[in-house]
Amino acid sequence: MSKNNIPQQDLFNRYYRIFIIPMIFLLYYLLSYLVNPYSYYWESLAAKGWKELFTEGIIMMTTCWGITELSLVSARWLDTRIPWEKWPIRRFIAQLCGQIITVSILLSVLYGILWLIFGPPPDKPATLLEKIDEWQFVFVCVMLSILISAVHTGNFFLQRWKTSMLEAAELKLNTAELKQIAMQAQLQSLKLQLDPHFMFNNFSTLSALIEEDKGTALSFLENLSRVYRYMIINLNNDIITLREELRFIQAYIYLIKIRHGNNVDIRIEVPENITNRGIPPITLQLLIENAIKHNVASAAQPLHISIYEETDGTLTVSNNIQLIPTNIPSTKLGLENIRNRYRLLSDQETTIRKENGMFMVTLPLLNF
């Protein structure tokens, strides 16, 4: 496992042991001196030989190591049982009591080991100063344990703060990206509205209908106004109901039927129980426009477009593939825009595939 794959807390614990244990060893003597600089222990320490000093150093280093390990283990165990973010006061009390208990147990075990190695202490009553030194030793060890636990807790809160800052930055980045993609959708929709060919075709059809069939012309104009009104109203919306999108699509299909007749066959088979689910606005219109734009639609080769529920919670838009011969490659901006919007709005993705001469785009239906 590389260093990049090791969790931050594990790396902290590893370096914690390397650097902190010697510091705790030195801090023990510093605290002991600050608590009682007149203890007889300092005189006895100065009178000892190097072998005795080495033995005592090993014992104290082992004690510091034990305190460090128990402090880390108890703090990590409490992290899973009494997390700081849920019960801060309860955690503080539990951690303080836990440090005192674990240190007391550790010192009792070490005392028993030393008794087995070096034999029992001299059988004489301890003086008051000796008892004070013993309690001082326990007090300093408890203080060291609390200090180690405080450093561990401080690192925990630092990591949480860094994580929250990263999440906030990522959220801002996603928001900015969503705004950018929404702007692309707006520009694409406006481009469609202002496209000279789109405008010319619809107004030419409307002009011809006015002379031939004023009733149909009026209906065409009403549906054309619905299409424009829907696009303008939903430019700033991220999600709308499938019911609203299908209502808009009916108006859009009417325009296509008037212009292309039976050359384009659009069928919608969507059960009513899923129409309250969500979908990014103008998604179905982009897919229908994409199919008509890239495929031949004639009496000899009609273009069949279907909108249906493929599986529970998904909507599929499919069309038969009969591409228009052209040397200009597709920019795929419409499909890419739909994919990006789904990626930012949910953890679900669109699926684009070609099977048996059919081009299919599957859209997850979203929850509000």
Distance, in Å, from the CA atom of 141 to the CA atom of 109, rounded to the nearest integer, reads: 14
Q: Which domains does the chain have, with CATH numbers?
A: 3-173 (no CATH), 195-364 (3.30.565.10)
Give pLDDT, residue 242.
94
User: Cα dist. 240→176, 275, 278, 307, 367 in Å?
Assistant: 20, 10, 5, 17, 10
Give 124's contacts (C-beta < 8 A, 6+ positions apart): none
Distance, in Å, from the CA atom of 222 to the CA atom of 220, rounded to the nearest integer, reads: 5
Under a CB-based contact definition with an 8 Å cutoff, are residues 209 and 201 in contact?
Answer: no
> Rounded to the nearest 10 degrees, what angle do helices 128-194 and 196-212 cross at?
50
Within 10 Å of residue 284's Cβ, how many Cβ atoms?
A: 25
Distance, in Å, from the CA atom of 248 to the CA atom of 298, rounded to the nearest integer, reads: 25
Closest by CA position to 113, among listed 177, 186, 62, 188: 62
Q: Given 3-state DSSP classes, what are the helix, strand and coil percentages for the chain, each rounded to the nearest 5?
A: 70, 10, 20
Give pLDDT, residue 10.
53
Give pLDDT, residue 1.
41
- Strands, DSSP E only, in the chain? 240-241, 264-269, 278-279, 303-308, 314-320, 351-355, 358-364
Closest by CA position to 338, among listed 311, 317, 308: 317
Q: Is 368 exposed, middle or buried (0-12, 13-18, 19+ CB in 10 A)?
A: exposed
Written as six digits, the tokens of 29 are 């003597």
Distance, in Å, from the CA atom of 131 to the CA atom of 264, rounded to the nearest integer, reads: 99
In order along the chain (368 residues), what is the average pLDDT of each group of 10 residues? 46 58 70 70 68 74 76 79 81 80 78 67 57 68 74 74 81 77 59 53 76 81 83 78 92 88 93 92 88 91 94 91 76 76 83 93 90
Closest by CA position to 246, among listed 210, 208, 218, 287: 287
Model confidence, pTM:
0.49
The amino acid occupying position 299 is: A
Largest Cα–Cα distance in the chain? 124
Give pLDDT, residue 6.
44
Give pLDDT, residue 191.
46
Beta pairing class for 314-320 and 358-364:
antiparallel
The amino acid occupying position 205 is: T
Written as six digits, the tokens of 270 are 């969507």
- Strands, DSSP E only, in 92-135? none
What residues are paired with 267 via a beta bridge? 306
